[in-house]
Amino acid sequence: MPNPTIFHNPRCSKSRQALTLLRDRGHEPTVIEYLKDPPDAATIRRLIDLLGGRAIDLVRRKEALFKELGLADKADDDDALIAAMVEHPVLIERPVVVVGDRAAIGRPTEKIAELLDSA
Protein backbone atom coordinates (compact mmCIF):
# COMPACT_ATOMS: atom_id res chain seq x y z
CA MET A 1 0.00 0.00 0.00
CA PRO A 2 1.34 3.44 -0.87
CA ASN A 3 2.07 5.77 2.01
CA PRO A 4 -1.05 7.82 2.83
CA THR A 5 -1.09 11.60 2.62
CA ILE A 6 -3.39 13.63 4.83
CA PHE A 7 -4.45 17.22 4.21
CA HIS A 8 -4.62 18.14 7.87
CA ASN A 9 -5.73 20.95 10.14
CA PRO A 10 -4.41 20.25 13.66
CA ARG A 11 -7.13 22.46 15.18
CA CYS A 12 -9.89 20.25 13.74
CA SER A 13 -11.01 17.30 15.88
CA LYS A 14 -12.01 15.21 12.83
CA SER A 15 -8.61 15.83 11.29
CA ARG A 16 -6.85 14.80 14.50
CA GLN A 17 -9.04 11.67 14.67
CA ALA A 18 -8.10 10.80 11.10
CA LEU A 19 -4.39 11.19 11.82
CA THR A 20 -4.75 8.99 14.90
CA LEU A 21 -6.61 6.35 12.87
CA LEU A 22 -3.86 6.29 10.26
CA ARG A 23 -1.15 5.93 12.92
CA ASP A 24 -3.14 3.32 14.87
CA ARG A 25 -3.25 1.29 11.66
CA GLY A 26 0.53 1.41 11.37
CA HIS A 27 0.88 4.25 8.86
CA GLU A 28 3.05 7.31 9.23
CA PRO A 29 1.39 9.52 6.64
CA THR A 30 2.76 12.51 4.86
CA VAL A 31 1.06 15.37 6.68
CA ILE A 32 0.21 18.51 4.74
CA GLU A 33 -1.02 21.30 6.97
CA TYR A 34 -2.94 22.91 4.15
CA LEU A 35 -3.59 26.18 5.99
CA LYS A 36 0.19 26.71 6.34
CA ASP A 37 1.07 25.19 2.96
CA PRO A 38 -1.99 25.79 0.75
CA PRO A 39 -2.46 23.54 -2.28
CA ASP A 40 -2.41 25.04 -5.74
CA ALA A 41 -5.22 24.68 -8.27
CA ALA A 42 -3.65 21.59 -9.87
CA THR A 43 -3.47 19.82 -6.50
CA ILE A 44 -7.08 20.68 -5.70
CA ARG A 45 -8.17 19.43 -9.13
CA ARG A 46 -6.31 16.18 -8.51
CA LEU A 47 -8.02 15.75 -5.12
CA ILE A 48 -11.41 16.31 -6.74
CA ASP A 49 -10.57 13.71 -9.40
CA LEU A 50 -9.41 11.21 -6.78
CA LEU A 51 -12.58 11.80 -4.77
CA GLY A 52 -14.63 11.19 -7.90
CA GLY A 53 -16.81 14.23 -7.44
CA ARG A 54 -17.11 17.90 -8.18
CA ALA A 55 -15.41 20.92 -6.62
CA ILE A 56 -18.45 21.62 -4.43
CA ASP A 57 -17.84 18.25 -2.72
CA LEU A 58 -14.51 19.54 -1.41
CA VAL A 59 -15.86 22.88 -0.12
CA ARG A 60 -16.79 23.51 3.49
CA ARG A 61 -20.28 24.84 2.84
CA LYS A 62 -20.87 25.68 6.51
CA GLU A 63 -17.81 27.94 6.60
CA ALA A 64 -18.92 31.57 7.03
CA LEU A 65 -16.66 32.61 4.16
CA PHE A 66 -18.62 30.33 1.81
CA LYS A 67 -21.69 32.46 2.40
CA GLU A 68 -19.77 35.76 2.42
CA LEU A 69 -18.26 35.03 -1.00
CA GLY A 70 -21.62 34.00 -2.47
CA LEU A 71 -20.26 30.59 -3.44
CA ALA A 72 -23.64 28.86 -3.18
CA ASP A 73 -24.51 30.64 -6.43
CA LYS A 74 -21.38 29.11 -8.01
CA ALA A 75 -21.94 25.52 -6.87
CA ASP A 76 -21.78 24.27 -10.48
CA ASP A 77 -18.74 26.35 -11.40
CA ASP A 78 -15.75 24.15 -10.57
CA ASP A 79 -13.25 26.78 -11.74
CA ALA A 80 -14.71 29.46 -9.47
CA LEU A 81 -14.80 27.13 -6.47
CA ILE A 82 -11.24 25.92 -7.06
CA ALA A 83 -10.05 29.52 -7.33
CA ALA A 84 -11.81 30.32 -4.04
CA MET A 85 -10.16 27.32 -2.32
CA VAL A 86 -6.74 28.37 -3.62
CA GLU A 87 -7.24 31.90 -2.34
CA HIS A 88 -8.96 30.83 0.91
CA PRO A 89 -7.76 27.33 1.91
CA VAL A 90 -10.02 27.47 4.98
CA LEU A 91 -12.78 26.58 2.51
CA ILE A 92 -11.27 23.14 1.88
CA GLU A 93 -13.11 20.30 3.61
CA ARG A 94 -11.00 18.35 6.05
CA PRO A 95 -9.45 15.98 6.49
CA VAL A 96 -8.68 14.56 3.06
CA VAL A 97 -6.65 11.36 2.93
CA VAL A 98 -5.03 10.14 -0.27
CA VAL A 99 -3.82 6.57 -0.77
CA GLY A 100 -2.43 5.88 -4.22
CA ASP A 101 -5.06 6.82 -6.79
CA ARG A 102 -7.94 7.14 -4.34
CA ALA A 103 -8.99 9.66 -1.72
CA ALA A 104 -11.61 10.15 0.96
CA ILE A 105 -12.87 13.00 3.07
CA GLY A 106 -12.78 11.84 6.68
CA ARG A 107 -16.29 12.89 7.64
CA PRO A 108 -17.08 10.55 9.19
CA THR A 109 -13.72 9.00 10.08
CA GLU A 110 -15.03 5.60 8.98
CA LYS A 111 -14.59 6.75 5.37
CA ILE A 112 -10.84 6.72 5.92
CA ALA A 113 -11.00 3.24 7.41
CA GLU A 114 -12.92 2.11 4.30
CA LEU A 115 -10.29 3.72 2.08
CA LEU A 116 -7.50 1.90 3.90
CA ASP A 117 -9.37 -1.41 3.86
CA SER A 118 -9.92 -1.21 0.11
CA ALA A 119 -6.37 -0.15 -0.77
Catalytic residue numbers read: 12
For the chain, how are helix, strand and coil distributed in percent, rounded to 5? 50, 15, 35
Rounded CA-CA distance 93/29 in Å is 18
